[in-house]
Structure 1
Amino acid sequence: MTAKTEQTIARLDTLLDDSIAAVFALAEADALPLGDDTLPLYDVLRYHLGFLDADLRPERGDMGKRMRPKLCAYSCLAAGGALEQAVPVAAAIELLHNFTLVHDDIQDRSLLRRHRPTVWSRWGEAQAINAGDAMFVLAHLALNLLSDEQIDPSVIVRLSTALHHTTLRIVEGQVLDLSFEPRLDVTTTEYLRMISGKTVDIFQYATWAGAQVAGAGNDRATRFGDFGRALGTAFQLHDDILGIWGPSNATGKDAGDIARRKKTYPVVLLFERADADDRERLFSLYADDEIDAAGQANVLRLMDEYDIRHDAEDEVRRWHARARAALDVAQPVQPGRSLLEDVLRQLEVRTK
């Protein structure tokens, strides 16, 4: 990574922080007076985002990879735009993503997020739902800041409409994901359809929106979106691998996708591959509410026997290759091209 690339990344982080702060300021300017004994809603959001510690004191905590807003901003550069043009929509994407995390942690009963207690485990489920709802609204408010960047109003409307549709696809994907939990017959086709909404659509939106604010035509913006869709698929499949074989101290989340019986890609692949006897064993293990340590060991043994990890990693590599090919088709320009290629390389080898 060159010094210039590092400067661009640092500058984007600063611009994102400033844009998110501006959205909070807009919301808090006419907020209800909640009182000293009421949940400090906006500070809870700042905590989740990494701006405050668990005692709601200022800190620069783990803010995650900020992958989606980076893809938006870098796609804007790669389509010939300026970094500043993309920042409001990049901030909207980051806030929308974090809205989904707050609610996902409740549904998954996750106690940790980025090495810290999740919002629901710290302040309770009901208030965490409120916090997630507020984050969702802030995401859509962030798009209003595009008017400060002299973006054509018709583009802002297009971006806003697409963000609403992306949000619906995320929710639909989550509905599918939860519906998979009691099922033992989920197919890889169904699984890929589920992640196309829950995870992939926001990647596609990020790269498409970045090209849109840069002034790219619809066809070229769609090609950037195709890149995001392939990259998002690779990202989620890789995440599923880390959810089973990645250490929790690296991911910053609770380990144990097998323990919680989550129907991630390796598990779905195993159910498809297993012979009749092994499927019966799996049915027995997955009939319980949670799989104990001995059961987890049995599932991992079966995954070894059926080469599940190897084949899942091969599938990730195929999607990364598709992403690289799609990026070439989009004809990105510098410096955005190098930044997007750096993201690709980082995701190919990530351990968290």
Structure 2
Amino acid sequence: MELGPEPLTVLSPPADAVADGCAVEMAALLLGHLESVCASDDRLGALMRHALLPGGKLLRPLLLLESVAALGGDPGAALPAAAALEMLHAATLVHDDIIDQDALRRGRPSVAARFGQADALVGGDAMMCAALGQARALASSGYGADRALRVLEVISTAAIEVSRGQMMEADLAGRMDCAMAQYLRMVRLKTGALLDAATRTAAVLTGAEPSHARALARFSDHLGVAFQMQDDLLPYTDDGRAAGKPALSDLRNRRPTLPVLIAFADAAPRQRLLLQDLWRRPAEDAQHALAELLEAGGALGAARATAADHLAVALAALEELPPGCHRDHLAAMAARLAARRS
């Protein structure tokens, strides 16, 4: 069935993406920029708008824009770079939903569910190409060809690292004995690469001092780990409606998530057998019992504490940046992510 193009609408930033007036303005500018990028009146334009708008948490682009501002740069001129990161992120979500066969994303049909898997695959590829085009556009937004080329390298490298992390996650699926070092490596690739690209891009665009660039890199690294660990907890603390996607996706696909890895590593032989038995059951049947087992054994608490430790390291790294409202905004973004329930 052929779907007609969706009408363009005036967009407001999602409530969970922002918490202050400056961030609201940044998010609104970003959404307006994204709307103009995918304004074509055809099926691909409709697909891209469905994937990108009205927007999710906007974590990666807002991290980039706030980092640029914290380093004394002009976030308005950096909008193409922020759009590039959000488009790349959205493309990975489109592909993720194809792989996982998830029909929901952000509380509505996934791109694959609405447009079909074939068009979703092609559309995800197109958004990746469009993201690189946005990075190239920095050359005409005041940053010059040299910095635009360096940003293009950062973003293209991040895309490869996300792909590597996705494949590593698939290789580790079903392994409750996954080593913590392997898990962290996978997280830093699949989840952390785009956060790292956000702060690296900000450092490139502003010509940041090496110490400030290192501080931002440390911030985004540990923020990414904390973010993924918090996400790992959602199947056992959330019913899926607030998440806007099936809460059972990770469990159904037997992904190596932190609470399960902690529980298996600490379990006695009999408990390991019980964990493995639950792991093999259909996700809908196992979720409640597994959540109770993880809570009773302390694995959920340990996972929360580990995420909090990484968040603390991330926040400490910000202290090395120049003081100001944008540094405070970065800290507030991190704190909101740590408290997320969806």
> TM-score, normalization: structure 1?
0.86
Aligned to 1:15: 29
Contact map agreement 1:166 1:201 (CA 8 A) in 2: yes
Shift of 1:22: 4.2
How many residues are paired up?
A: 324
Contact map agreement 2:33 2:83 (CA 8 A) in 1: yes
Aligned to 1:64: 56
Aligned to 2:190: 198
Cα distance change on mapping 1:253 and 1:164 into 2, 3 Å: same
**Aligned mates of 1:19, 1:144 — CA distance in 2:** 15
Aligned to 2:329: 339
**Aligned mates of 1:262, 1:79 — CA distance in 2:** 38
Q: Which moved more, 1:163-172 or 1:206-215?
A: 206-215
RMSD: 2.0
Aligned to 2:75: 83
Question: 1:81-131 deviations in whole A, cap 9, x for unaligned?
Answer: 112132111111110110110001111111111110101112221111111
Question: 1:287-331 deviations in whole A, cap 9, x for unaligned?
Answer: 45x3342x33332232123201111110111011000111112x1
Cα distance change on mapping 1:23 and 1:291 into 2, 3 Å: closer
Aligned to 1:54: none
Runs of 4 or more, structure 1, over 6 Å off, are: none
State the secondary structure of the residue aligned to 2:201.
helix
Aligned to 2:12: none
Aligned to 1:323: 314
Shift of 1:219: 4.4
**Aligned mates of 1:215, 1:19 — CA distance in 2:** 24
Structure 2 residue 181 is matched with structure 1 residue 178:
no
In structure 2, stretches of 5+ residues that fail to align are: 1-18
Aligned to 2:45: 42
Q: Which moved more, 1:65-74 or 1:266-275?
A: 266-275
Contact map agreement 2:234 2:247 (CA 8 A) in 1: no
Query: What pairs up with 1:274-289 in 2 under 5 angstroms?
Result: 274-288=267-281
Question: 1:46-79 deviations in whole A, cap 9, x for unaligned?
Answer: 01212xxxxxxxxxx4x11101100000000111
Structure 2 residue 152 is matched with structure 1 residue 149:
no
**Aligned mates of 2:283, 2:333 — CA distance in 1:** 36
State the secondary structure of the residue aligned to 1:233.
helix
Cα distance change on mapping 1:7 and 1:281 into 2, 3 Å: closer
Aligned to 1:351: 341
Shift of 1:157: 1.2
Aligned to 1:305: 296
Cα distance change on mapping 1:184 and 1:312 into 2, 3 Å: closer
**Aligned mates of 2:283, 2:84 — CA distance in 1:** 38
Query: What pairs up with 1:87-126 in 2 under 5 angstroms?
Result: 87-126=79-118
Matched letter for residue 222 of structure 2: A
In structure 1, stretches of 5+ residues that fail to align are: 35-39, 51-60
**Aligned mates of 1:97, 1:278 — CA distance in 2:** 38
Matched letter for residue 298 of structure 1: A
Matched letter for residue 270 of structure 1: A
**Aligned mates of 2:33, 2:198 — CA distance in 1:** 16
**Aligned mates of 2:158, 2:37 — CA distance in 1:** 20
Structure 2 residue 218 is matched with structure 1 residue 226:
yes
**Aligned mates of 1:237, 1:200 — CA distance in 2:** 11
**Aligned mates of 1:291, 1:335 — CA distance in 2:** 44
Structure 2 residue 253 is matched with structure 1 residue 266:
no
Contact map agreement 2:259 2:303 (CA 8 A) in 1: yes
**Aligned mates of 1:287, 1:14 — CA distance in 2:** 45
Shift of 1:189: 1.7
Structure 2 residue 120 is matched with structure 1 residue 128:
yes
Shift of 1:259: 4.1
State the secondary structure of the residue aligned to 1:258.
helix
State the secondary structure of the residue aligned to 1:247.
coil
Contact map agreement 2:232 2:259 (CA 8 A) in 1: yes
**Aligned mates of 1:343, 1:182 — CA distance in 2:** 33
Aligned to 2:129: 137
Contact map agreement 1:80 1:333 (CA 8 A) in 2: no
> TM-score, normalization: structure 2?
0.89
State the secondary structure of the residue aligned to 1:85.
coil
Q: 1:244 aligned to 236, 244, 247, which one? A: 236
Shift of 1:171: 0.3
Cα distance change on mapping 1:218 and 1:304 into 2, 3 Å: same
Cα distance change on mapping 1:298 and 1:13 into 2, 3 Å: closer
Q: 2:38 aligned to 6, 24, 37, which one? A: 24
